[in-house]
A and B are shown apart, each in its own frame.
Chain A
Amino acid sequence: MGTGKAMPISNVSIFSMLRTKMQWHQERQRLLAENVANADTPKFRPRDLSPLKPDPARQATASVTLARTTPAHLAQSAAIAGAQFQLDRRGDFEVRPTGNAVSLEDEMLKVASNAMDFQAATALYTRGLGLIKTALGKR
Chain B
Amino acid sequence: MDFLKSIAIAASGLRAQAGRMRVISENIANADSTAPAAGGNPYQRKIPTFRSEIDRALDAQVVALGRVRTDTSDFRIKFEPSHPSADANGNVKYPNVNALIEMTDMREAQRSYEANINVIGATRRMIQRTIDILKA
Interface of chain A: mostly helix, strand, loop or mixed: helix
Chain A residues closer than 8 Å to B13, beta-carbon distance: 33, 36-39
Instruction: Decide: B129 and A122 in contact? CB cutoff 8 A.
Output: yes
B: interface residue count bin: 35 or more
Chain B residues closer than 8 Å to A22, beta-carbon distance: 130
Chain A residues numbered 97-139 whose CB sits less than 8 Å from any CB in chain B: 104, 107-108, 111-112, 114-115, 118-119, 122-123, 125-126, 129-130
CA A36 – CA B129 in complex, angstroms?
A: 22
A10 nearest CB across to chain B (Å):
13
Interface of chain B: mostly helix, strand, loop or mixed: helix
Instruction: Decide: B115 and A40 in contact? CB cutoff 8 A.
Output: no
Tell me if B123 is interfacial: C-beta within 8 Å of chain A.
Answer: yes
Q: Which of A27, A37, A40, A108 has the most CB of B within 10 A?
A: A37
CA A112 – CA B123 in complex, angstroms?
A: 10
Known: A40-B16, A118-B129. 12 other contacts (CB 8 A): A26-B3, A33-B9, A33-B123, A37-B119, A41-B51, A41-B63, A42-B49, A42-B50, A108-B115, A111-B119, A115-B125, A119-B129
Q: List 19 A-B contacts (CB under 8 A).
A: A22-B130, A29-B2, A29-B3, A30-B6, A33-B5, A33-B10, A36-B10, A37-B61, A37-B62, A38-B50, A38-B61, A39-B13, A40-B17, A104-B112, A114-B122, A119-B126, A122-B133, A129-B133, A130-B136
